[in-house]
Chains A and B, each alone.
Chain A
Amino acid sequence: MNDINQMNQMNDTNNVNNNRVVLKNISKFYWEGEKRLDILKDIQVEFPPGKFIALIGKSGSGKSTLLNLISGIDTPSEGEIEIGSFSLTRLTEKERTLFRRNHIGIIFQFFNLIPTLTVLENVTLCQELGGYNSAQDRKEALQILEQVGLGEKAQSFPDRLSGGEQQRVSIARALAHKPSLIIADEPTGNLDVETGKVVLDLLIKLVRENGKTLIMATHSLEVLSLADQAYTIKNSQLAPANKNFSDNILGKDED
């Protein structure tokens, strides 16, 4: 019974939709012997709903760590993360998983499709895991696949697709279960410029059309101009970035 209650609660989209992502005094650090290594330190920020937020910073600055914390894949060492009325940091491991399954879509740099599932099965994975993969869900998943241009490859396995196609499947998977928040970790980082542009345009278009919040870590300056808000991570701290003047964003002044 507990599971069912939990599921119902996690399924309640009203608790999440149109609510913001709030990070309160978030820190993430590791111990290397006696020495504390700060990845993120005292981060305080509020991301408004329905916006495209870009995170920019040099490699190893902590962008992926921050995304992992927001998606509940990782937990902060200190601080609290709220998404809508949920305090992510107060949820158990299982609750975080269910929360992610229902409310968050994740797009990885390396696509990370499940090789034993077909394209369509990958896209409907979250619904399948929740046990509510209805004919309507599959129909909608197919529509999303059509939108990303892969309607004909619904029954193919991921290893038969190109990198660009795999990332498009990944985008479809992130959207299919209608999450309110999309987390994308350098989604074009593993694609050539041209394919990357196609994928990015598609992602932003779909997110905007569906009114989702998108938080994306990127190295691409072009993405900055498309984002509603931009942030950079420097010295483990998150700071607003100037979307038009990117030299300092990429951290050249730090070198």
Chain B
Amino acid sequence: MITLLRIGLRYHKHHLLQSFLLILGIALGVAVVIAIDLANTSAKDSFQTSVDSVVGKATHQIVGGPSGIEDEFYRKLRIEYRVRKSAPVVHGYVRAVDWKRPIQVLGIDPFAEAPFRSYVTIEENNLSGGVFGDFICQPGTVLLGQELAERENIKKGSLLTLERGAQLFQVRVIGFISPSTTTASQSLQGMMIADIATAQEILGKIGKLSHIDLYLSQENEAEKIREILPPGLSLKRPQVRNSYIAQMIRAFEFNLSALSLMSLIIGMFLIYNTITFSIVQRRSVLGTLRALGVTRKQIFLMILGETFVFGLLGVIFGIGLGIFLGKIVLGFVVQSISDFYYTLTLSRLNISSWSLLKGTVLGVLTALIAALFPAYEAMKTPPTGLMIRSLLEDKVFRYIPRITLGGVFFFALGIGLLVMPSNRIELGFLGLFAIILGSVLFVPLLTVVCMWGIERCQNLYPSLFLKMAARSISRSLSRTTVAIASLMVAVSLIIGVSIMIGSFRNTVESWLQTVLTADIFISTPSETGRLNSFDREIISVVASVKEIKEVATSQTLQLETPTYGMVNLNAVDRDIARKTRLYLWQDGTHDEVYQKLQEGGVIVTEPFAYRHKIKALPGNFIELPTNFGQKRFPVVGISYSYSSDQGIVVMASPVYRKYWEDHRVSGVAAYIHEGENVSAVVAKLEKLFSGRYNFVVQSNRNLRLSALKIFDRTFTITTALRILVALVAFIGILSTVMALLLERTKEFGILRANGMTPGQIFRLILWETSLLGLIAGILSIPLGTIMAAILVYVINIRSFGWTIIFQPELSYYIYTVAIALGAALAAGLYPAWRLQKAKVIQSLRAE
């Protein structure tokens, strides 16, 4: 068997370029999968690390509403109820101005910390008595992790400027800690530690705690604590809290992974084609081997053995490339998660061996599956070696009806899976893949029909080259259709994703116009898509500007709920989109809905309704935990909104303030008097805030542009993935075209001998490759549109619950058909150049 494998591999040694392209194809496919997996895993690890560092060993947590827990309750818990294993925690995010990124602030009581987070205790870090004293007694002092300090070149005594909301703070670094555990070390890369009072000041939570950690050894202790909790506070297990957040990004991650798998699938076509070529080219050798006594099984294993070696080589390169790409992708993943879900302060790529193993197994398996059919064909080589290529092609021709029937089956299966009543994204993707497979199986028939059509057109436009090109494609169906199919799938993906993103962007743009009705918007700077809260006093400052007619405020925050997980709550003192808001369903007219909002009703957005199965009917309500316990809020409307895939609950500010006793706001919208210049008012407000507050003042237009910038940023990975998938397809078509043409070197030699000039050879080859590209481009139009529809109506709905207005544009089709044509033409350039340069005599001698 080793000898056979050696024979096989030596063949590839003599076809280095083809072998290189095969390895590159596998490597790129594997790299994309590994890069996405590593980025997803690292983002999750980053989240888990920050959670672990805050949660520590706590078994339970007492949590409050948006305004937190009163200090006083902790004192009562510890002294009156004698819950000794408890620790107060204040945590939140601020922006480190010098580092231009968010950082987590963890406020703790060092005396109570020991059972929870040993790494922040004094003993663990050998902090001197002086440092410890300063930490407790000196306001505005913080501790940093040793590694972070070294990386940012922070010395003991350095001052750091932090920004929260519109306010700036300065803190002094008084010491460094280097925990013994890796998790703690990692978490300190994105965190600073302060005592409770300092953290409360920095985070604007004076007199409040974020939560209280508890270490309870028995469940009955938990029951006792529940009994003493005042309304508005609840006892939770940290794992449950974390699962809310992990759940939020599941669809986001799944979509990325599914898209990354596409590169492997397209890689399969490339592997199939290269192996088929190598077998056709070696038919006489295989025949000789069979004549010499090599069994069919041995031939089969020989081909799979070769493929295994290539798969492994591809995986080795793929891992290296995947890690490199993973570092780039991670930046985008972290940014998107921070924009839409929760703040991530760490963005270090954790090279998980599980991800690498998954990539390796997937890469090798994909290669082996792709080689199964060619290996089976090779196995059937008769000992005479007379596996004439035309026989193989005849067989493909005969199989066309069966292949097409297979296509019908998979297409129908795909439709069945898609229309099946279910919310599962996995079923959606399975349906999509079945439809892609079905379409691929239609390619042989459609190619034959297209070529037949071109031949018929000969009467209108007689061209020897076109005729020869069309016939060459029909004559090598077993290979040309695979090349066309792989290019078609890649180009369809580009069309599908472009239509989806374009439709989505247009929908969001129109929606922004309906909801952003004010002239000027004021908020705090944020590295992420979320806003920080600030005090209400700012409203009067804004309202005092004479050009401003009226102001509206909103408070946006995340609320932990037992029923719906994390809920984005938006409390508005007046609905700025009152007249223009678009509803999926509304309980009455716009005015009636507004009135009901004032009376305690809520409007939920479409994704929220979809996720929590809120029907478009009157009589629905949602239950939210308030400072006065669980309260019911009637749903008075379901509106379209694209700002969060988790959905938003909109309520009137007075209602919010009543139940949550939170008087802060996170955004101010201002309307100016008619005839006033928006830019001038923006400049005036900026001047007014200068030196006092650090607010971002944006005109309506600029805010819309910022929103679209975040939108575009979110789809950067999708765009990059699209390009990578196209690159794998390009390598596929390059490899196929090269093999197809180089295999016909002798034929080109004969043509040259009969008077075809080098220029004519070049033209003939480019005719052939353009036809390949053109067919792939044309066939990708229907498939791309179907893919877009599936992405918009099934995958998007199941993942995010948004209604996107399907808007295919002619430009997407023209652009992508041009890409297919360009890719095929580019793939033909090198073989065309090589064959036109080849000496006639050498070409004639080629076999």
B753 contacts A106, C-beta separation under 8 Å: yes
Give Cα distance in the complex from A95 to B541, angstroms. 87
Partner of A97, one of B468, B475, B747, B757: B757
Q: Given the interface contacts A114-B751, A159-B390, does A74 sit within 8 Å of B840 by beta carbon?
A: yes
B468 contacts A114, C-beta separation under 8 Å: yes
Q: Chain B residues near A121 (CB, 8 Å)?
A: 464, 467
Whether, in the assembled complex, A166 has its beta carbon less than 8 Å from a beta carbon of chain B, the answer is no
Give Cα distance in the complex from A73 to B838, angstroms. 11
A129 contacts B760, C-beta separation under 8 Å: yes
Interface residues contributed by chain A, number (CB under 8 Å): 27
Give Cα distance in the complex from A126 to B471, angstroms. 19
Shortest CB-to-CB span from B845 to chain A, Å, is 10
Whether, in the assembled complex, A125 has its beta carbon less than 8 Å from a beta carbon of chain B, the answer is yes
Shortest CB-to-CB span from B553 to chain A, Å, is 75
Whether, in the assembled complex, A173 has its beta carbon less than 8 Å from a beta carbon of chain B, the answer is yes
B758 contacts A94, C-beta separation under 8 Å: yes
Give Cα distance in the complex from A3 to B206, angstroms. 89
Whether, in the assembled complex, A116 has its beta carbon less than 8 Å from a beta carbon of chain B, the answer is yes
Whether, in the assembled complex, A112 has its beta carbon less than 8 Å from a beta carbon of chain B, the answer is yes
Whether, in the assembled complex, B205 has its beta carbon less than 8 Å from a beta carbon of chain A, the answer is no
Q: Given the interface contacts A73-B844, A74-B839, A74-B840, does A116 sit within 8 Å of B754 by beta carbon?
A: no
Whether, in the assembled complex, A240 has its beta carbon less than 8 Å from a beta carbon of chain B, the answer is no
Question: Could you tell me which residues of chain B, from 732 to 751, have a CB within 8 Å of some CB in chain A?
Answer: 746-747, 750-751
Q: Given the interface contacts A126-B755, A173-B754, does A68 sit within 8 Å of B471 by beta carbon?
A: no
Whether, in the assembled complex, A201 has its beta carbon less than 8 Å from a beta carbon of chain B, the answer is no
A128 contacts B464, C-beta separation under 8 Å: yes
Partner of A114, one of B747, B839, B841, B844: B747
Whether, in the assembled complex, A102 has its beta carbon less than 8 Å from a beta carbon of chain B, the answer is yes
Chain B interface size range: 20 to 34
Q: Chain B residues near A74 (CB, 8 Å)?
A: 839-841
**Cβ proximity bits A112-146 to B, threshold 8 Å, 1 near / 0 not:** 11111100010001101110000000000000000
B759 contacts A100, C-beta separation under 8 Å: no
Give Cα distance in the complex from A93 to B755, angstroms. 11
B759 contacts A94, C-beta separation under 8 Å: yes
| Interface SS majority for chain B | helix
Q: Chain B residues near A116 (CB, 8 Å)?
A: 467-468, 471-472, 475
Q: Chain B residues near A173 (CB, 8 Å)?
A: 754
Q: Chain A residues near B756 (CB, 8 Å)?
A: 97, 101, 129
Minimum CB distance partner of B474 in chain A: A116
Whether, in the assembled complex, B752 has its beta carbon less than 8 Å from a beta carbon of chain A, the answer is yes
Question: Could you tell me which residues of chain B, from 467 to 484, have a CB within 8 Å of some CB in chain A?
Answer: 467-468, 471-472, 475
Question: Could you tell me which residues of chain A, from 73 to 110, have a CB within 8 Å of some CB in chain B?
Answer: 73-74, 93-94, 97-98, 100-102, 106, 108
Give Cα distance in the complex from A114 to B760, angstroms. 15
Q: Chain B residues near A100 (CB, 8 Å)?
A: 753-755
Q: Chain A residues near B759 (CB, 8 Å)?
A: 94
Shortest CB-to-CB span from A116 to chain B, Å, is 4
Q: Chain A residues near B746 (CB, 8 Å)?
A: 112
Whether, in the assembled complex, A71 has its beta carbon less than 8 Å from a beta carbon of chain B, the answer is yes
Give Cα distance in the complex from A74 to B845, angstroms. 12
Minimum CB distance partner of A71 in chain B: B753
Shortest CB-to-CB span from B475 to chain A, Å, is 6
Shortest CB-to-CB span from A155 to chain B, Å, is 12
B757 contacts A73, C-beta separation under 8 Å: no
Q: Chain B residues near A113 (CB, 8 Å)?
A: 750
Q: Chain B residues near A159 (CB, 8 Å)?
A: 390
B757 contacts A115, C-beta separation under 8 Å: no
Give Cα distance in the complex from A100 to B756, angstroms. 9
Q: Chain B residues near A101 (CB, 8 Å)?
A: 754-756
A115 contacts B475, C-beta separation under 8 Å: yes
Give Cα distance in the complex from A27 to B844, angstroms. 21
Q: Given the interface contacts A94-B759, A114-B751, does A129 sit within 8 Å of B841 by beta carbon?
A: no
Most A-side CB within 10 Å, residue of B472, B757, B839:
B757
A114 contacts B752, C-beta separation under 8 Å: no
Partner of A130, one of B468, B471, B755, B839: B755
Shortest CB-to-CB span from A152 to chain B, Å, is 21
Q: Chain A residues near B471 (CB, 8 Å)?
A: 116-117
Q: Chain A residues near B467 (CB, 8 Å)?
A: 116-117, 121
Shortest CB-to-CB span from B804 to chain A, Å, is 47
Shortest CB-to-CB span from B481 to chain A, Å, is 17
Q: Chain A residues near B390 (CB, 8 Å)?
A: 115, 159
Q: Chain B residues near A71 (CB, 8 Å)?
A: 753
Give Cα distance in the complex from A247 to B174, angstroms. 109
Q: Given the interface contacts A73-B840, A115-B747, A159-B390, does A125 sit within 8 Å of B754 by beta carbon?
A: yes
**Cβ proximity bits B196-231 to A, threshold 8 Å, 1 near / 0 not:** 000000000000000000000000000000000000
Closest 5 CB pairs of A and B: A101-B755, A116-B471, A74-B841, A112-B750, A128-B464
